[in-house]
Amino acid sequence: MTQTNLKSPQNMPTHAESILFHADSNDPDLLYFSGFKALDPYIAFSIGQMKVGVVHSSEYGRMVAESDLDEILLVNKVNDDAARHFKLPKGQQASLSQMIIHLAEVYQIPRFRIGERFPAGLALELQQAGVEIQADKNGGVCPEREIKKTSEVESLRRGNRASEAGFRVVHKTLTESKIVRGQLVHQGKVLTSERLRELISHAALDEGAVALHTIASCGDQVHDNHNTGYGPILANQLIVVDIFPQRIDDHYWGDMTRTFLKGQASDAQRRLVRTVKKGHELAISMIKPGQVGGEVHDAVQAFFDKEGYETVRDSENVKGFFHALGHGVGLEIHENPFMRSKAPWKFKEGHVITVEPGLYYLGLGGCRIEDVVHVTPGGNELISHAPYTWEIQ
């Protein structure tokens, strides 16, 4: 990678389309495109197969050393050239849109393709200046992200190790807790959802990941399956813990869920957990290259129906198995493909997807079990591992 002086138009081929970014590394498509972890937004674009970044001199050395970009331009040089191009008064800086317009003309790029995270105001400025902008309609300008490389699968394994560390702490904490008047007491204090999340957060951080928004809910709170949980953890109630930490080093995620209960489970609770676990096993047994994603979801739904667990979705009073069976995971916690009812896509080697069936009923509570599956040539492999032991005396 080298700093490039902008080439003259007559020496450049015309490129039918270029992907354009202005973002920091919170944009997963840009992070995938460039491999550069940036705190501040910067311009990046493609020219054919070549990837170009525009960066301040303070970040130039790091971008050269760390990124996957083929050419790196200094933003002050691009700014000066754009200012001359637009005949701006001496000392006046070119705007972002003017710099991009200038780059488009220099590199003979007739149109840019942008993703859903591209700044709307900047896109409008470019359009008003006559630049053709094509907004991506499929949720991402890097659809190749869906099939994970070997290095990405390894990063996802590591993300799930952070989840596993969290579950070890949960099991240890519940085991050490005492039941006092229907609540759990740990180390002399009432154990709350908030405290359980703190302990999980520390465990994940020790594994190099940040666990925010962890779900640790019990009883009827579980019925709202994205309720993070609040207040005391109750004895004899189902506790759903969903840990999805993001690795600090490379931004890949882990995503696992286990269900617990401290005390004595009822027959109905045991049957619920047993049924969800069988649904989980059924789904994993079906996943292989060529299998239709929606058919896996529908098979689990049919199994739950057969076992007598009613589902109501698309209502204010949902119950049963009302969410998708799984989703892709990578640089986003939820990304393509999504394993929903009647989804027509087929599994491909390299897909990494969660499998997370759940059943939820007010008065009984809920259960969800989630693991991450990597699709391999002969079927699949689990890349998340934690015990399924759930009833703790």
Regarding pTM above 0.85, the answer is yes
235 three-class SS: coil
Q: How far apart, in Å, are the Cα atoms of 299 and each of 44, 85, 98, 323?
A: 44, 61, 54, 14
What is the Cα–Cα distance from 165 to 179, expressed in whole angstroms?
24
Question: Side chain identity at 262, as an amino acid letter?
Answer: K
CB under 8 Å to 307, separation ≥6 — which residues? 275
Answer left, alpha or beta for residue 51, where phi above 0 means left and psi between -120 and 50 means alpha: beta
pLDDT at 344: 97
pLDDT, one tens digit per residue, over 259-303 is 999 999 999 999 999 999 999 999 999 999 999 999 999 999 999
Question: Side chain identity at 48, as an amino acid letter?
Answer: G
What is the Cα–Cα distance from 392 to 176, expressed in whole angstroms?
10
Q: Which two tokens stand for residue 350?
A: 């390299």
CB atoms within 10 A of CB 40: 11
Task: Sketch out the chain's domains with CATH numbers.
Answer: 2-144 (3.40.350.10), 147-392 (3.90.230.10)
In which residue ranges of the chain is pLDDT below 70?
Answer: 1-16, 139
pLDDT at 225: 87
Q: Give the long-range contacts of residues 314-319, CB within 8 A, separation 24 or more.
A: 318/360, 319/223, 319/360, 319/361, 319/362
What is the Cα–Cα distance from 264 to 392, expressed in whole angstroms?
8
Helices (H), the chain: 28-34, 57-66, 75-85, 96-106, 120-128, 150-176, 193-206, 267-286, 293-306
What is the Cα–Cα distance from 127 to 133, expressed in whole angstroms?
6
pLDDT at 136: 87
Under 8 Å between Cβ of 205 and 331: no
Under 8 Å between Cβ of 280 and 322: no
What is the Cα–Cα distance from 139 to 28, expressed in whole angstroms?
11
pLDDT, one tens digit per residue, over 86-111 is 999 999 999 999 999 999 999 999 99
pLDDT at 8: 41
H or E segment and range at residue 218: strand 215-218
What is the Cα–Cα distance from 377 to 244, expressed in whole angstroms?
27
Under 8 Å between Cβ of 192 and 231: yes
CB under 8 Å to 91, separation ≥6 — which residues? none
What is the Cα–Cα distance from 384 to 373, expressed in whole angstroms?
8
